[in-house]
Amino acid sequence: MDSIDRPTLSPTDGFTAPAASAVPPLSPQAARPGVLPAPSVGEFLRQVFALGRRSILPALPILVLLYFYRFGMGLYMIFSGDVTSPMGYPSTQLRAVTWIVAAAAYMPLLVLVYTPFLPFQDSILRGEKRSFVDAVKQILELLWPYGVSAFFQLLFISLPAAAIVVAAGMATMALGALPVEARSFLVLLAMLPAGLWVAFAMLLLAFATPLLVLDGRGPLASIRESFSLVRRQFGWILGRLFISVVILTFAVVFASLPSSMLTVMTSVANQKLVAVEIARLVWDSAVSTLAFPFSVAVLVVLYRTVVPVQQKTATAAGFTTFE
């Protein structure tokens, strides 16, 4: 591992900056409060790729667990997806039970795998050695405020979107003279503003969980501060996030080409081949598992660019956070 200049504790102020050679000089723009120096897109993507790559080996046991979880849930959906009633018709109730079981199985992974990746990758970004078990312990210690924050985030995202769809449904019911197809189209049309709201709300809440987990903000304070951070740097954050999502999507689609070929084979055969479905699932689970560290790295690098550690510039393991 490359040599790392770590900050050391001082009895006077509790923090001493790294050696001067490790600290890049700040421009006058960066020195002004609330102004982001906006590292280039190439530099940002380089840090994302480096952080995602460097976190694979230390988290390999967790990624193996995540792979088998996705593979197992995929098998469950394959064998329970085409559920029918005793009369041979599609069973809506059994299908709902299938999705409820899938959602319930997701919740433990959210606490034990997905969220702990934030402090785990943050420690790698800062050049610190930390086990994934310690990251899980941190999330478990914050389970109550994390749950409260997640509840309010869910309300903020879902209530306006649901209100838009329900209002559209009620409006179409008042138009009884319209054909059923026309009313269904109007309800589907209402999904567009509802989806736009969900995307906008998720962007506003992008830093809520990192603020709570990485910097110890309260459940509601983390939400308010996330609003403030995104509002002040909306264009910069949206641009980097959009470019990262596009690149990750293209990478996943390209890596999933063998799976897509198997899907085409199934369509040509005009029947569900279990062996082909399992082979496709094996490949898709591997692709999504390998993409996961890079997707979390986008959020971690973005957050630490906007909210540096203790407002100091830290250089470690080839990564730079900017004031």
Every domain of the chain and the residues it spans: 39-308
Predicted local distance difference test score (pLDDT) of residue 215: 92
pLDDT in tens, 291-322: 999 999 999 999 999 888 754 333 333 444 34
- Output the average pLDDT for the chain: 79
Say what the pTM is.
0.76
Where residue 11 falls among pLDDT bands split at 50, 70, 90? very low
| Cα(87)–Cα(242) distance, integer angstroms | 48
Q: What is the mean pLDDT of residues 143-163?
A: 93
Angle at the Cα of 321 (from 316 to 323), degrees rounded to 5? Answer: 140
Where residue 141 falls among pLDDT bands split at 50, 70, 90? very high
Predicted local distance difference test score (pLDDT) of residue 110: 86
Query: Which residues 6+ apart lie within 8 Å of 294 measured at CB?
Result: 48, 49, 52, 248
What stretch of H or E contains 316?
strand 315-316
Predicted local distance difference test score (pLDDT) of residue 183: 74
Q: What is the mean pLDDT of residues 144-162?
A: 93
Chain-centroid distance of CA 62 in Å reads 17
Q: Which of 23-27, 117-121, 125-129 has the highest mean pLDDT?
A: 117-121
More confident residue, 118 or 187: 118
Residue 48 has pLDDT above 90, yes or no: yes
Residue 217 has pLDDT above 70, yes or no: yes
Helix (H, G, I), strand (E, B) or coil at 320: strand
